[in-house]
Amino acid sequence: MSAYPDAEFLTSANKRSQFVPDDGREVAFAGRSNAGKSSAINAILGRRGLARTSKTPGRTQLVNFFSLGEGLRVTDLPGYGFARVPEAVRRHWGELMDDYFHHRQSLAGLFIVMDARRPLTEFDQGMLGWARAAGCPVHLLLTKADKLSRGAGAATLLAVRREVGDAASAQLFSALKNTGLDEARLVLDRFLGLRNGV
């Protein structure tokens, strides 16, 4: 059975007026373009093909809302840091993200998805700084860990944890090998208020 049996796609929004009603609790997945956000959502929710994935960076250009049940949601945000997009698209992305992060009352937690081979880019740091200022709890998902040896993965995780301190929790993850699923689901449930404590 799926970890979240009621998970379903709600809508894609290109502007704030298209966002779903701002009630309940919502957890956002943000990260660089092509980092593996949509794949991570599918793996964590246990629903292949729920969020659209692609080999082409910049695939998710909209804010995609998924329901996990009454008043509980996950959002798949458009990736940042992809150089080869027109200026107008990049500007629109910035406005959409501003609208989302500055107004979303139901935002209860943020997963920052990073390629474990290139963690904590400038953009990731910016996102982390924003979330910290907003008092939004953050979990760093170091994905594509299957691309690293065990030793290199462990060293990366240690370095990331040292760098962020208590600003965020962090873990290794692979959507390809389904590693780190239990840990990610524990954090998601905690952000959604489905579990207490750490």
Ligand X SMILES: Nc1nc2c(ncn2[C@@H]2O[C@H](COP(=O)(O)OP(=O)(O)OP(=O)(O)O)[C@@H](O)[C@H]2O)c(=O)[nH]1
Query: Which residues would be at the binding site for Mg ion (CB under 5 A)?
Result: 37-38, 60
Which residue lies nearer to ligand X by CB, 19 or 82? 82
Which residue lies nearer to ligand X by CB, 58 or 109? 58
DSSP-assigned letter for residue 145: G
Q: Which one among 4, 60, 157, 172 touches ligand X, defined by CB under 6 A?
A: 60
Secondary structure (3-state) at 188: helix
Residues 110, 131: Cα–Cα separation, whole Å: 8
> Rg of the chain over CA atoms, in angstroms?
16
> Does 156 sit near ligand X (CB under 6 A)?
no
Q: Which one among 37, 47, 185, 190 touches ligand X, defined by CB under 6 A?
A: 37
> Does 75 sit near ligand X (CB under 6 A)?
no
> Does 144 sit near ligand X (CB under 6 A)?
yes
Amino acid letter, 181: L
> Does 186 sit near ligand X (CB under 6 A)?
no
> Does 150 sit near ligand X (CB under 6 A)?
no
SS (H, E, C) 67-129: EEECCEEEEECCCECCCCCCHHHHHHHHHHHHHHHHHCCCEEEEEEEEECCCCCCHHHHHHHH
> Does 180 sit near ligand X (CB under 6 A)?
no
> Does 34 sit near ligand X (CB under 6 A)?
yes
Question: What is the residue whose two structure tokens read 């373009």?
Answer: 33
Total number of residues binding ligand X (CB under 6 A)? 23
Q: Which one among 16, 25, 59, 92 touches ligand X, defined by CB under 6 A?
A: 59
C-alpha dihedral, 129 to 131 to 137 to 143, nearest 10°: -70
Chain residues binding ligand X by CB under 6 A are 31, 33-39, 53-55, 57-60, 79, 143-144, 146-147, 174-176
